[in-house]
Chain A
Amino acid sequence: MAIQTPAIEVENLVRQFGDVFALDHVSVSIRKGEFFSLLGPSGCGKTTLLRCIGGLDIPDEGVIRIDGTDAREIPAHKRPVNTVFQSYALFPHLTVRGNIAFGLQMKKVAKPEIEERVKRVMDMVQIAKLADRKPAQLSGGQKQRVALARAIVNEPSVLLLDEPLGALDLKLRKELQIELLALQRRLGITFVYVTHDQEEALVMSDRIAVMRAGKIEQMGEAEALYENPRTRYVSTFLGSCNLLEATVRQRTPTGAVVQTTVGELRVEGSIPDRNKFTLAIRPEKVALCAPGESAGENRIKVKVVEVIYIGSETHYVLKAGEQPLSAEAMNVKVGHQGFDIGQDAVVHLPAAGLLVLDD
């Protein structure tokens, strides 16, 4: 693959509000045509980063390059990026058509061309029928489509989306996720997508940056990020995780044997030099068996404390002594899945599923 200029390059970006660092030396490079998500809880700086890229907020330090051009001196209205706002921010005094045409009118595009492009975009997001309505007459999902159409009609090189589906109900949200993703693939526009919903980020993104307190904690492809979280924060924010404090007993050529609150465990992979660290294991990697059944290594006796049946799978809350553990299993058996509250069982923690965290 040829080396391309990144769509967005951010270097050591700092934005301070009083004593609080909304952005604390953030650096990130976003590839052309990529669906890139900024994921984090509210107040982590993800929206501030988006606003700095769009020119709606001015960073205190650092560099932003858009298509290789230093954007620091370019005001918002001249940047080749457009934003879909969380509140939609449609112009209440203009019709749907007027809202979508706004950007092209400001750029003094010829009238027939405006008409044609507006029509094409309205067809693309299926709002042609709403052309003459005012925003107050639209439902949440329709407003969302208008906000999207208003941005993409300008053919920006990067589209910035600030929790665009945040105000919609779950069903509509899932539908629009798929639609948005299809649209992005079709248009080939780079999407920078801000969300606090980890599932949404996993479903849609090529790459995800998990943010915390103004910093990017970990960045990578969705699968890599989920399978190999490096910190406690990432492991629990993206999905859920069992965390175990471990002390090294013995180092082996392939890993180590460690002591934890649930007993001795064998761990694979590179082991840090320090003797104490945190182990993480995803609930779905925890294999729950009946006491008699043979299971693999790292066997631990547990008691079933809670059974949460959710149709396609069942979640179990377990206790190994005082240590709570959670396990998830697909309901592949026909009929009763086999574990009840209060029952004794055995779990097996496969060495490959035990991750060594950095903190």
Chain B
Amino acid sequence: MQKFLYELNRSPQLQSDYAADRHAVLQPYTLTDEEVAALTEPDVGKLYVLGVNGQILMHFAALHQIEWQDYLQQMRDGVESYGPVREGVYAMTGYEGTRAHSESLGQEGGI
């Protein structure tokens, strides 16, 4: 899943192919039905929960013209809807969400 997004971010040709047929470009990759659905809808919140690194995911969001604040909100909604991040660096020590981070740091607000 991340391999596809990594290659998508690097390749204007793959971006064109993805725009033309989102399912066809995923054929070479070994993906679950859930991953295919998240990549084709697209469901940024689900992709985040599935473990896509934000440094990769933010470019995918930009490709879909998703504004920055909307991108952040879609990830928050994903955690709310689908539960904690399942894999990757955000799950490494247990991603506990924005509220817990706020409390642990003793800070208010945030973007």
The answer to whether A binds B is: no
Q: Which residues of B contact A (CB under 8 A)?
A: none
